[in-house]
Amino acid sequence: MVGLPLTKTGLNSRGEGRSAMTPHLKIGIAGVVIGLILLIINPWLALAVIVAAIALPAIAYAMLDSNQKQRLRRIRRRQLGR
């Protein structure tokens, strides 16, 4: 709707708006897209890029200790408005 200001989450006062993507999600999607393009050129390189785009965030999360994971979950809940 025109004239309704957007909040930080991209929603206006009526709850309408766009979905917000984090920079990390954008980078992950870009890695998968580049991997799919490379699939035509060099399948092995494409496989490596796709695996790296999926595995690196998972490995980074697994390396956090329990306090850091709890803090991250708390921040995510706050961002989602729970």
- Give the model's pLDDT for residue 52: 85
Average pLDDT on 42-50 reads 84
Residues 14 and 1 sit within 8 Å (Cβ to Cβ):
yes
Q: What percent of the chain has pLDDT over 90?
A: 12
- Taking the C-alpha atoms of residue 28 and residue 55, their distance in angstroms, rounded to an integer, is 10
Average pLDDT on 35-50 reads 85
- Taking the C-alpha atoms of residue 37 and residue 29, their distance in angstroms, rounded to an integer, is 12
- Give the model's pLDDT for residue 15: 55
Residues 81 and 9 sit within 8 Å (Cβ to Cβ):
yes
Nearest-Å Rg of the Cα atoms of the chain is: 18
Bridge partners (DSSP) listed for residue 11:
17
